[in-house]
């Protein structure tokens, strides 16, 4: 009997003894295939342009008008720049483009049926595609986070900045900014993956989420917690002032923010796995 026949029972289910290793191999294969599309496909140019935007902006600012001169000024400037430009703009819209296209792009290209016709559980397909998007977004946006911070500190004050990172709080703050970027990719990625599965026009729900995240500072404390940005901002090493109209709410501790975000992500991915079981491909309606 062939290995394929040994793997599948007569009812089409997978033998328990070999299922885990098979699923892991399939997840790895799907992830590798999608990584090539994410980094080198026809839709990747927009992501590279988006990732280059904050770096180019900082280089231009440093040439025309160098930033603050004290370490406290630089930490505050970077925190504001990171929150508004990197986290809320580049990471948000970058994750939207990457993760919504994981399935929506296959439908537009009329290639999703190849996955559905293969001997792959659809939950495995969701896992493989999500991990490919997650790895892509983490590589790109953590690189942007690190490069922008180094540009802010090292472009004009190399000696002082070296001491600040080697003996001061610089390295610890960089660690937390990178961690926040990774968690943003985890949370936003799961949401946009589901949006790409549920909605034929994913732009509208993406804009609704974007508006919700931006008005978070105006929401009462209870509603603030129904957002990704609240938990991410709770981890920022240098808090950013939200203005005189902001509703003050206590930041959520890291030991709650990080596990909570991961649990919500797992639930959203479970929803995606449930949804895709009943999904049928109709190219003519898209």
- Are the C-beta atoms of residues 152 and 67 closer than 8 Å to each other? yes
pLDDT of residue 16: 52
285: DSSP letter: G
Distance of CA 193 to the CA centre of its chain: 10
pLDDT of residue 225: 83
CA distance 78 to 150: 10
Most confident stretch, 62-71, 188-197, 199-208, 249-258: 188-197
Q: Is the pLDDT of residue 198 over 70?
A: yes
CA distance 153 to 167: 14
Q: Is the pLDDT of residue 135 over 70?
A: yes
pLDDT of residue 196: 87
pLDDT of residue 131: 96
CA distance 87 to 27: 28
Average confidence score pLDDT of the chain = 85
Please write the tens of the pLDDT for every residue from 76-102.
889 999 999 999 999 999 999 999 999
The partner residues of 8 in beta bridges, in order of sequence, read: 14
CA distance 153 to 85: 17
Rg (CA), the chain: 21
pLDDT of residue 144: 97
Please write the tens of the pLDDT for every residue from 161-189.
788 888 888 899 999 999 999 999 999 99
- Are the C-beta atoms of residues 141 and 88 closer than 8 Å to each other? no
Please write the tens of the pLDDT for every residue from 6-51.
344 444 444 555 788 888 899 999 999 999 999 998 889 999 999 9
For the entire predicted model, the pTM comes to 0.88
Ramachandran quadrant class, 236 (left: phi over 0; alpha: psi -120 to 50; beta: rest): beta
**Distance separating the N- and C-terminal Cα atoms of the chain:** 42
Task: Say what percent of the chain tops pLDDT 90.
Answer: 44
* CB-based contacts of 182, cutoff 8 Å, min separation 6: 138, 142
CA distance 247 to 216: 9
pLDDT of residue 66: 65
DSSP 3-state assignment of 8? Answer: strand
């Amino acid at each position: 009997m062939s290995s394929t026949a040994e793997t599948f029972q007569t009812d089409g289910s997978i033998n328990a003894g070999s299922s885990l290793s098979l699923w892991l191999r399939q997840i790895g294969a799907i992830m590798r295939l999608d990584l090539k599309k994410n980094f080198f496909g026809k839709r990747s140019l927009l992501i590279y342009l988006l990732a280059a935007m904050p770096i180019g902006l900082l280089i231009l600012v440093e040439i025309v008008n160098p930033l603050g001169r004290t370490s406290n000024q630089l930490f505050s400037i970077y925190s504001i720049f990171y929150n508004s430009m990197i986290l809320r703009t580049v990471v948000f819209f970058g994750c939207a483009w990457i993760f919504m296209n994981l399935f929506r792009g296959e439908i537009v290209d009329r290639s999703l049926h190849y996955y559905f016709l293969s001997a792959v559980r659809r939950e495995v397909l969701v896992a493989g595609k999500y991990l490919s998007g997650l790895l892509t977004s983490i590589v790109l946006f953590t690189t942007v986070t690190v490069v922008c911070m180094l540009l802010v500190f090292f472009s004009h004050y190399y000696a002082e900045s070296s001491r600040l990172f080697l003996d001061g709080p610089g390295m610890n703050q960089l660690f937390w900014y990178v961690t926040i970027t990774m968690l943003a990719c985890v949370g936003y990625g799961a949401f946009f993956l589901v949006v790409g599965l549920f909605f034929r026009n994913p732009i509208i729900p993406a804009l609704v989420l974007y508006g919700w995240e931006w008005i978070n500072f105006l929401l009462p404390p209870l509603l603030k917690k129904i957002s990704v940005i609240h938990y991410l901002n709770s981890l920022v090493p240098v808090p950013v002032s939200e203005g005189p109209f902001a509703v003050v709410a206590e930041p959520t501790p890291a030991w709650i923010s990080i596990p909570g975000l991961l649990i919500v992500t797992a639930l959203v991915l479970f929803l995606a796995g449930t949804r895709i079981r009943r999904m049928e491909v109709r190219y003519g309606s898209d």
